[in-house]
Amino acid sequence: MEQIQSYRKWILWGIFNLSLVALFGALMRYKIAFDFPFFHQKNLLHAHSHFAFAGWITHVLYSGLAMLIAPYISSQQRKRYTFTVIFNLIVAYGMLISFTIQGYKAVSITFSTLSIVVAILFAYIFIKDSKQLPKNTSFKPWAIAGVLVNIIAALGPLYLAYMMATKTITHNYYLGSIYYYLHFQYNGWFFFASMALIVAWLPSDFPDLKKYFNLFAITVIPTYLLSILWAKLPVWLYVITVIMTFIQMYAWLGILYKSFPIIIQFRHNKNAWINIFFYGATFAMTIKFILQTISIIPSLSHLVFGLRSIVIAYIHLILLGVYSLFIIGYAFQNRLLRATPLAKFAAFAFLLGVVLNEAVLGIQGMAAFTYTLVPFSNEALFVVASLLFLSAFTLALSQIWKREVKQ
């Protein structure tokens, strides 16, 4: 019970961090829609994005993987995960503050580098401790792949920091580094670690997903090339990219097909309201794979993803629509968040904010094709960002109250 309370505290920290991510998002939206001379927009963007990754998603995934392996290791070994999670939080807050104040400078680069140290440390500890897991533990390969890809992803910001520090920035390498990091976070670390949490939670008689794990593991590196089709890849590399993209789409559809019976069964559970968050995350992930597959057409990819609002909508589709909704649902399902009336209200308000954010960005992006200006779109995005902040903060606040309703 004491250990569960620790995980609840970690998740609560994560939800509070989500509210800070949303607060910075709202502040940036305010600066776009209205006059606000304080802070540099680019600095806020760097702080917002780095903290969203390290302080929100990565923090919760570290906590979740630590929770999975805890029953198989000693109390002394569990303390190492506590240290690593706290270390990651310190680094995340260091990036939030330093990027806000100075952007890419010595202090923020130092904290960014330390985040790589945390990733390596967590991977080392987890892989070492995973030897104590029972043979054929279902979540083990997903988790190990996740922590390894997390290290691979770190090379992106490391090279970006090097270019910033040495003032040797070139446009293509700058974009390539950013897309490299995003790809191996979204499609690697976040995906595999989330799948580890899902697989560990599935009933023992659920069909084996090893085949689909192998397909995702094989394709995670080559599908990075989808992000740099503008670099005029050789034909043979483009062909490989197309094949790997279709394999990923097949693997995701295969997982959905295998999961369909259990999805139907969950509709009859007492806490069926939680499934709305899982359905939302699954739908968003499916849209993500469809868009990814469509992007194999270079001209279409350049046309669509050349629009800023479309790119932002795509990033938020994954970060908010997929992983944030999944984490919130997972936390409620496993009683890491208490399902009080206020918590339910805040969670659904956040879900509404995610939908509205995608809708406004989508309309803005479609209008850009015809060079049509959508009136009050920036103001609307500020209102939606404020809703995301208030709902996330209220969700965190609801966990301070001890009264819990039955799920």
Residues 51-92 have pLDDT tens digits of 999 999 999 999 999 999 999 988 898 999 999 999 999 999
Give the residue carrying structure tokens 């509205």: 356
172 has a pLDDT exceeding 70: yes
Radius of gyration of the chain (CA): 21
Nearest alpha-carbon partner for 70 in 21, 146, 1: 1
Q: Where on the phi/psi map is residue 39: left (φ > 0), alpha (ψ -120 to 50), or beta?
A: left
359 vs 313: CA distance, rounded Å: 9
- How much is the pLDDT for 406? 45
Query: Phi and psi at residue 23, in whole multiples of 5°?
Result: -60, -45
Is residue 348 within 8 A of residue 328, CB to CB? The reply is no
173 vs 159: CA distance, rounded Å: 9
Entry pTM: 0.92
Segment 310-354, tens digit of pLDDT: 888 889 999 999 999 999 999 999 889 999 999 999 999 999 999
Count of positions (residues) in the chain: 407
6 has a pLDDT exceeding 90: no
378 vs 366: CA distance, rounded Å: 15
- How much is the pLDDT for 164? 72
Q: To which H or E segment does residue 239 belong?
A: helix 235-266
- How much is the pLDDT for 269? 64
- Better-scored residue on pLDDT, 218 or 260: 218
- How much is the pLDDT for 91? 96
66 vs 49: CA distance, rounded Å: 24
**How many CB atoms are closer than 10 A to CB 250?**
14
Burial of 196 (0-12, 13-18, 19+ CB in 10 A): buried
Residue 314 in tokens: 């795509």
Sequence-distant (≥ 6) Cβ neighbours of residue 221 within 8 angstroms: 152
- How much is the pLDDT for 95? 95
Residue 14 in tokens: 């994560």
CA 316 to chain centre: 9
Is residue 392 within 8 A of residue 342, CB to CB? The reply is no
* Beta strands per DSSP E along 191-303: none
- Better-scored residue on pLDDT, 126 or 403: 126
Residue range 121-137: mean pLDDT, rounded: 92
- Better-scored residue on pLDDT, 99 or 168: 99
Percent of the chain with pLDDT over 70: 93
Give the residue carrying structure tokens 């094989």: 218
